[in-house]
Amino acid sequence: MTRSAPLQRRVILTRTLALGASLAAAYGGFLLFLQFGAADGLDSFDILRSALIFASTFWLAWGAITALAGLTTRPPLPPRHTGALTARTAILVPVYNEDPVATFARIAAMEASLRRTGMGHLFHFAILSDTRDDAIAARERMWFLRLLADTDGEGRIFYRRRTKNKGRKAGNIEEFIKRSGAAYDYGVILDADSLMEGATLVEMVRRMEAAPALGLLQTLPTIIHARSRFGRTMQFAGAFYSPIFARGLAMMQGRTGPFWGHNAIVRMRAFAESCALPELSGKPPFGGHIMSHDYVEAALLARAGWTVRVDDDLQGSYEEAPENIIDHAKRDRRWCQGNLQHSRLLLAPGLKPWSRFVFLQGILAYIAPVFWLAFLAASIAAPLFAPPIDYFPIESWPFPVLPVSQVSKALGLAIGVVGLLFLPKVLIVLDAALRGRVRGFGGALRATQSTLAELVLSSITAPIFLMFQTRSVLQVLRGADGGWPAQSRGDGSLTLAEAWAASHWIVTTGVVVLGAAQWFAPALVLWLLPVALPMVLAPVLIAWTSHPSRSGLFLTPTELAAAPVMDLQDAVLTRWQMVAADLPEQVADLGARPARA
C-alpha cells in the first residue's frame, strides 16, 4: 500500500460526508419552506421559492462543512528535501499598469530576504510587464535600474515589456516559459502586490524536491497593510478564518488541489507540458482568452497526472487587497466573468471529476446571490398568485376552519440559515482559544470582539455585495465583457459623492423592494429590513468603511509583530521615497534607454 492511499481514503470520506451533509441541509430547508408555503394552499410560487432555498442552502452548507472539515482534521506534515539545494527557480512578477516603486520595492525586499537564507543565487526574478501606459513603462525602466543598483541584482533580476499583451497574465507567463522556462526547475508565480519571505520560498522548493509528482504547490496568502475599516475587516477574516477553510479545502481536494493564480510554485516541466491554454471560440465574455486561468491550469495539471496541493501550514506568504467595497466589486466583476466562463469547460475531455466540480462551485458562488435575490422577489410577488383561503372547506359545516400557523417552520429555517453563516466562525474562535492561536490576534477577548464586529459588518454589507454580484452575473449573461482593468492601489478612501455615484442604483433597488413589499406583502416588511435597509444606506456604508479604522479591533499577527520581509520592504520604500521628487526629470532621460530583456 502506498503512503498516499490512507490519505486518499480520507479525502474520499471527507468529500462524501461534505456532499451528503450539504444535500441533507438543503433538502431540510426545501422541506421546511415547502410546508410553510403550502399552509394556505400549494402553488407554483411555493415550489419555485422552495427550489431557490434548496440551491442557496446547499451553498451555505457547503461553506460551513468546509470549515468543520478544517477544524476536525490535521493533515500530516508534507515531506521535504533536507539536503543541499541545486535547483534553479524563477520568481515571475507580472505587472500591468502598476506603480513600479511599490512593486519593485517588494522585489528588493524578497531578494534581500533570500540572500539572508544563503540561497539567493538559486533564485532569479523576472519582471514581466504588460503595461500599456508609456509613461508608466518609462518609470518601470527607471526603477528597474534603481532596483539593480540597490540589490546588485545584475544577472539575477530581469525586466521585459511585451509589445502585445496577448492572453493577459496567463499569456505573459506562457511567453516567459516558452522563451526561458527550460533554464529553471521551478517557477514561483506572484502578483504585483505579492510579498514572500525568503525562507518560505526556499521551503517551497524543498517540498517540491521531496515530491517528484507534485506539479504545483499553493500557499495561503495573508492580507497585509490594510488601513480602512473594510480592508482591516478583510485582513482579519483572511488571517483568522482562512487557514481553517483552506485546511478543509485541502482535505476535500486531495491531489486535485487549487491554484489561486499567485503565491504558488510550479514545476516548470509539468506546467510547460500541461498548461497551454486554448482560446475559446466566440466573443467574450464566454469566448476568447480564459480569464480565470488559474483554476483551469490546476485542472490541466491534474488531468496530466500531476499533484496540485495547498499547504496551509506555510507561513510568510502575503498579498494586499482592495481598501473599499467599490474596488473589491471591480475585481470581483472580473472573477465573476472568469468563473461563469468555466461553464464552457465543464465537459472538456479528460478532466478529473473533482476538477469539474470545482468549476461548478465557482459558478455557483456567483449564481447563489442571484438565487437569494430571486427568492426575495418571488416572496414579494407570491401573494398576488396565491389561491384565496377557503375558511369553509367542509360542506355543511357552519364553523370556519382556520389554517394552522407555520411561523415556527419559518423561524426554524431562518435560524438554520443564520447558523450556517455564523456557527463556523464561532467554532473557529473557540478552536483558536483552545489552541492558543488567539495570542496573535490580541488575546481571547480581543479576538472574540473582532469576530463579533466582523460578523456584524459582514452581515450589514452582505446585501450590497449581493447586488454587485447579481449585476455582474446579469452583465455577463447579456454578453458584456468586463475586460481586465488595472488594480486600484492606495488608501482607497471614498467621499460620499463617490460612493453615491457607484451605488445609487442599489439605493433605488432597496427603496423599490421595501415599497413593493409594503404594497403587496406587508407582513414581509419586517423580515426584509435586514436586507433592504443596508441597500438604502449603501453610499453611507461604502464611504464609511473606506476610511481608516481606529477602533483597535481586527488585530492580526503581522500587526503585532511585522514579518522580517515587511520590515525590509519598509526600509526600501523609505530609501526610495527620498529620491521620488526627482522622478519626472529622470523619467524623461531614461525613457529611451533600453532595459534588459
Q: At residue 594, does pLDDT exceed 50?
A: no
Q: Could you state, in order of their start, the residue ranges of all structural domains in the chain? A: 89-365
**Mean pLDDT, to the nearest integer, of 132-145?**
92
Q: For domain 89-365, which architecture applies? A: Alpha-Beta Complex (3.90)
**So what's the pLDDT on residue 153?**
75
227-248: pLDDT as tens digits: 999 999 999 999 999 999 999 9
pTM: 0.90
Q: Where are the beta strands (DSSP E) in 61-112?
A: 89-95
As beta bridge partners, residue 309 has 217
On the question of pLDDT at 578 being above 90, the answer is: no
pLDDT score, position 391: 47
- Say which range, 149-158, 272-281, 292-301, has the weakest mean pLDDT: 149-158
The sign of the dihedral angle between the CA atoms of 544, 548, 551, 554 is positive
Residue 238 one-letter amino acid: G
User: 266-270, 303-307, 583-587: which has the minimum mean pLDDT?
Assistant: 583-587
Average confidence (pLDDT) over 375-381? 84
Compute the distance between CA of residue 182 and CA of residue 197 in angstroms, rounded to an integer: 25
Region 60-69 average pLDDT: 92
Cα dist from 123 to 39, 74, 170, 540, whole Å: 68, 32, 21, 47
Q: What is the mean pLDDT of residues 414-418?
A: 78
Higher pLDDT, 13 or 7: 13
Q: Are 298 and 258 in contact (CB under 8 A)?
A: yes
Task: Name every residue whose Cβ is closer than 8 Å to that of residue 242 and which is 6 or more positions away in sequence.
Answer: 220, 222
Output the pLDDT for position 1: 39
Binned at pLDDT 50, 70 and 90, residue 475 comes out as very high
Exposure class string for 125-151: b at 16+ Cβ within 10 A, else e: bbbbbbbeeeebbbbbbbbbebbbebb
* Dihedral sign (CA 262, 264, 336, 29): negative
How far apart (Å, rounded) are the C-alpha atoms in residues 188 and 196?
Answer: 10
Average pLDDT over residues 307-319: 95
Q: Give the per-residue pLDDT at 26.
A: 92
3-class DSSP string for 486-513? CCCCCCCCCCHHHHHHHHHHHHHHHHHH
pLDDT of res. 254:
87
* pLDDT beyond 60 at 589: no
